[in-house]
Amino acid sequence: MSSSKQTLQNPSLWVDEHGDALYRYALKHTSRPEAARDLVQETFLAAFKAKEKFKGDSTLRTWLTSILRHKIIDQFRRDARTPQSSTNSSIEEDLLGQNLSDETDWRLNPVDHLEQKQFLSTLENCLQKLPDKLRTIFILKEVEGHNRSEICNEFGISTSHVGVLLHRAREQLRSCLGKNWPE
Same-domain status, 173 and 128: yes
In a domain, 156, yes or no: yes
**Which pLDDT band, with edges at 50, 70 and 90, does 141 fall under?**
confident
- The reply to whether 7 and 68 lie within a common domain is yes
Q: Is the pLDDT of residue 43 over 60?
A: yes
Task: Give dist(CA 94, CA 28) in Å, integer.
Answer: 8
Report yes or no on whether pTM surpasses 0.95: no
SS (H, E, C) 119-157: HHHHHHHHHHHCCHHHHHHHHHHHHCCCCHHHHHHHHCC
Assign residue 139 the CATH number of its domain. Answer: 1.10.10.10
Within-domain flag for 89:
no
One domain, residues 75 and 128: no
Q: Does position 171 have pLDDT exceeding 90, yes or no?
A: yes
Where is 101: in which H helix or E strand? none
115 plus 155 within the same structural domain: yes
pLDDT at residue 144 in the model: 79
Q: What is the total count of domains within the chain?
A: 2
Instruction: Compute CA distances 175 → 38, 120, 164, whole Å.
Output: 32, 15, 16
Residue 93 covered by a domain? no
Identify the domain boundary among 35, 62, 81.
Answer: 81
**pLDDT tens per residue across span 18-31:** 889 999 988 888 87
Specify the 3-state DSSP secondary structure of 31.
Answer: coil
CATH of residue 7's domain is: 1.10.1740.10
Give me the domain span that covers residue 8: 3-81
Question: What are 54-113's pLDDT values in tens digits?
Answer: 887 888 888 899 899 888 888 877 776 665 444 333 333 434 444 444 444 444 455 555
